[in-house]
């Protein structure tokens, strides 16, 4: 049963973040990395790693008695799928209402606007 990327939980996602930063990497290393920002118990992280392996989101190779873990898909693929899924559920699949909310709440930054402009240019060029 290949898991959809979308049933990665929030906590599991944080673990994946650490793996995307660097891999393959041992559990101890992941724990250190995560503990820079989260107060998670070592055991908790190991549980999450195990669940990710079961969900086929993470693989490992044995290096002596330890495992070295790696993510099985790209961060970008996951975040894109998650975005799409949310936008499908709440905005009928269209991204502009989401951006509208951002604009309305003054959360649009200068860099966002700049980036958006360039996406638009790009898009218009492709659609001549």
Three-state secondary-structure class, residue 85? helix
Q: With binding defined as CB under 7 A, does residue 107 bind DNA?
A: no
Element (H, E) at 122: helix 110-126
Q: Which of 2, 36, 65, 76 binds a copy of itself (CB under 8 A)?
A: 76
Burial annotation 3-33 (CB, 10 A radius, 16+ → b, else e): eebeebeeebbebbebbeeebbbebebbbeb
Structure tokens at 18: 């650490």
Residues 41-70 that bind DNA (CB under 7 A): 41, 43-44, 46-48, 50-51, 53, 64-67
The rounded distance, in Å, linking the Cα atoms of 57 and 23 is 14
Structure tokens at 102: 């951002």
| 70 burial level (CB within 10 Å; 0-12, 13-18, 19+) | middle
Q: With binding defined as CB under 7 A, does residue 20 bind DNA?
A: no
Q: Pick from DNA, a copy of itself, none: which does 67 bind, CB < 5 to 8 A by kind? A: DNA
- Of 65 and 110, the one with the shorter C-beta distance to DNA is 65
Q: With binding defined as CB under 7 A, does residue 28 bind DNA?
A: yes
- Of 6 and 35, the one with the shorter C-beta distance to a copy of itself is 6
Q: Which of 1, 2, 7, 10 binds a copy of itself (CB under 8 A)?
A: 10
Sites of contact with a copy of itself (CB under 8 A)? 10, 13, 76, 79-80, 82-84, 86-87, 89-91, 93-105, 107-113, 115-117, 119-120, 122-124, 127
């Amino acid at each position: 049963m290949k898991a959809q990327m979308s049933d990665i939980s929030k906590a599991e996602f944080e673990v994946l973040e650490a793996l995307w930063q660097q891999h393959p990497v041992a559990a101890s290393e992941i724990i250190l990395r995560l503990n820079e920002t989260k107060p998670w118990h070592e055991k908790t992280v190991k549980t999450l790693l195990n669940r990710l392996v079961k969900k086929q989101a993470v693989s490992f190779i044995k290096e002596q008695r330890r495992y070295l873990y790696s993510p099985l898909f790209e961060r970008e693929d996951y975040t894109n799928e998650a975005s799409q899924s949310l936008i499908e559920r709440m905005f009928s699949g269209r991204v502009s209402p989401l951006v509208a909310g951002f604009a309305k709440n003054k959360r649009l930054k200068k860099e966002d606007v700049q980036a958006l402009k360039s996406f638009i240019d790009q898009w218009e060029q492709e659609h001549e």
